[in-house]
Amino acid sequence: MLKFHILFFLLIGCNIQLASLDSYATDNSLHLTVESGKQTRKQSVLSCEVPAGIAKNKYFFLIRDRDGKSIPVQIESTQKSKRISWILDEELPPHTTRKYKLQVIEKPINKPVEKVVLKNDGKKIHVLIDQHPVLVYNHATVESPLPNQPYYARSGYIHPLYTPSGEEITDDFNPDHAHQHGIMFAWRKMLFDGRETNTWDQKENLGRIEHVNLQSLKNGPVFGELIVQLDHVDLSNKDNPVVMLKETWKIRVFALTDHFLFDIISRQKCATEKSVLLKKHHYGGMAFRGHAHWHDKENYDFLTSDGLTKINGNHTRPNWVNIHGPLKTEHSGVTIFDNPENLHFPQPVRLHPKMPYFCFVPIHLKEFRINPGKSLVSKYRFHVHTGKPNVTAINRLWEDYTNPAQVKITIE
């Protein structure tokens, strides 16, 4: 009877194709089929939701049908379900499938190796894959290196970001624009309680962003995850600073080493009963500042999904933007993918023609108001690579992000 109920939950939640009750009863396993679809899948992040009823207080492991190889899998739970994730370890050509057996056991045979590890040194969260640095999130305030300009101090951003070979690829406190910090998310023109404010240009001292809480840290064999909370503070009334927006970042880093892949999901909501108006402007949003070595305008370029560069790509609306150039030892770059669920997708981009900085700017099209009780959710995927941008590989990653391979669960 118990297994009948388990089967019932599966049929409701996971598009199960029924094969045989007896097979499920005898070997206590499920079968997963990955369908590549129209494109090649390579190092793709795969996932499938499994109702919590099938695996409460139990463990999963995944076996590849073709050769019996055990595949690292990671479980994440919600109140209603569990989701398993893994990384496709062999290329899957178009219009082909790969099958796995998913087994449920009482105790893990061997503890999974945590390939992605997050370390908190009290000021920074260091994210590493197999001991190689990927990125650093600054949760303590980083003081301005400019003694006469202390207002540039900042917390709640990523720097440095590293290439797979270990070189830094972001910059911080560059003297030309000291308010640009690695990977950050800020708005340039805002209206709150009838006053204009902004959290982008720190020199104006009208607003600031500050880290306020480490909500969770998670290591894992497939991904590591960091969830943090930030405050957007209105300083336009000097006698009464007010938190106007509460923001959550979920940063998920996947266990890949020949290139780095990670997601940032931002959720911004009103901190008071007053709305926040994001005024129409030509920059402001999710931003990236490239390494100081790229500061000479000849040392970097952009490439968009439409084939445009720093010469002609500004304020266009691509699916993705790549910034690339030579570092100390090799050419490297970063691609940031927009998400179809984002506000005004595809979002306009600010591509600066003379400095290695860009941002996604949904409010370049028109103003947007964040109202109490509603959230502005923004999703981006980052791809860090060595070498010049490979458009074929980048487009494959774009398809993985927006049209992932389908996973079907069957009982055989």
Residue 125's SS3 state is: strand
407 assigned to some structural domain: no
Q: What is the pLDDT of residues 227-260, one digit of tens each?
A: 999 999 999 998 999 999 999 999 999 999 999 9
Report the alpha-carbon distance of residue 1 to residue 347 in Å, rounded.
Answer: 52
Q: Say whether both 176 and 37 belong to one domain.
A: no
pLDDT of residue 238: 87
- In this structure, the answer to whether residues 259 and 185 fall within a common structural domain is yes
Q: Which tens digit of pLDDT belongs to each residue from 95-143?
A: 999 999 988 777 766 777 899 999 999 999 999 999 999 999 999 999 9
What is the pLDDT of the chain when averaged over all its residues?
A: 90
Q: Is pLDDT at 151 greater than 50 in this prediction?
A: yes
For tokens 């197999």, the residue is: 130
Asked whether the predicted pLDDT for residue 407 surpasses 80, the reply is yes
In a domain, 411, yes or no: no
For residue 312, give Cα distances in angstroms to 15, 294, 302, 344.
46, 19, 10, 21
Question: Both 279 and 398 in a single domain?
Answer: yes
User: 265-293: buried (b, 16+ CB within 10 Å) or exposed (e) per residue?
Assistant: bbebbbbeeebbbbbebebbbbbbbbbbb
The residue with tokens 């439409």 is 306
Same domain, yes or no, for 372 and 274? yes
CATH code, 301: 2.70.98
Q: What is the pLDDT of residue 410?
A: 81
Buried b (16+ CB within 10 A) or exposed e, 363-402: bbeeebebeeeeebebbbbbbbbbeebeeebbebbbbbbe
Q: Across the strands, what pairs with 334? A: 323, 384
Whether residues 73 and 167 share a domain: the answer is no
- Domain boundary among the residues 43, 78, 110 is at 110
- Is 409 within the bounds of a domain? no
Whole-number Cα distances in Å, 117 to 168, 252, 255: 19, 11, 10
* Interval 67-108: pLDDT, tens: 989 899 998 887 777 889 999 989 999 999 999 998 877 776
> Which range of residues forms the domain containing residue 192?
116-402
Q: Which of 110, 126, 143 is the last residue of a domain?
A: 110
12 shares its domain with 72: yes
Among 86, 110, 134, the domain-final residue is 110
Instruction: For residue 243, give every residue at least 6 positions away whose Cβ sits within 8 Å of its Cβ, in sequence order, or none.
Output: 231, 232, 233, 234, 271, 272
Does residue 27 lie in a domain region?
Answer: yes
Same domain, 129 and 276: yes
Shared domain for 128 and 7, answered yes or no, is: no
Q: How many CB atoms lie within 10 A of CB 105?
A: 12
Please indicate, yes or no, whether residues 41 and 147 belong to a single structural domain of this protein. no
Q: Pick the closest to residue 268 from 300, 231, 235, 237 (CA basis).
A: 231
Q: What value does the mean pLDDT take over residues 48-59?
A: 68
71 and 23 co-located in one domain: yes
Residue 107 CB partners (closer than 8 Å, separation 6+): 59
Over 90: is that where the pLDDT of 222 sits?
yes
CATH number at residue 19: 2.60.40.1180
Q: Mean pLDDT throughout 41-50?
A: 93
In which band, very low, low, confident or very high, does the pLDDT at 274 lie, cut at 50, 70 and 90?
A: very high
**72 and 188 co-located in one domain:** no
| Helix, strand, or coil (residue 331) | strand
Strand partners, 206: none
412 occurs within a structural domain: no
Average pLDDT, stretch 159-167?
Answer: 98
pLDDT above 60: residue 55? no
Give how many domains the chain has, as a whole number: 2
96, 75, 336, 91 alpha-carbon torsion, rounded to 10°: -20
Q: What is the pLDDT of residues 336-392, one digit of tens each?
A: 999 999 999 999 999 999 999 999 999 999 999 999 999 999 999 999 999 999 999
Residue 188 lies in a domain: yes
pLDDT at 15: 36
Tokens 């050769």: give the residue: 67
Same domain for 340 and 377: yes
ω into 346 cis (within 30 of 0): yes
Strand partners, 157: 138
Token code pair at residue 322 = 């790549």
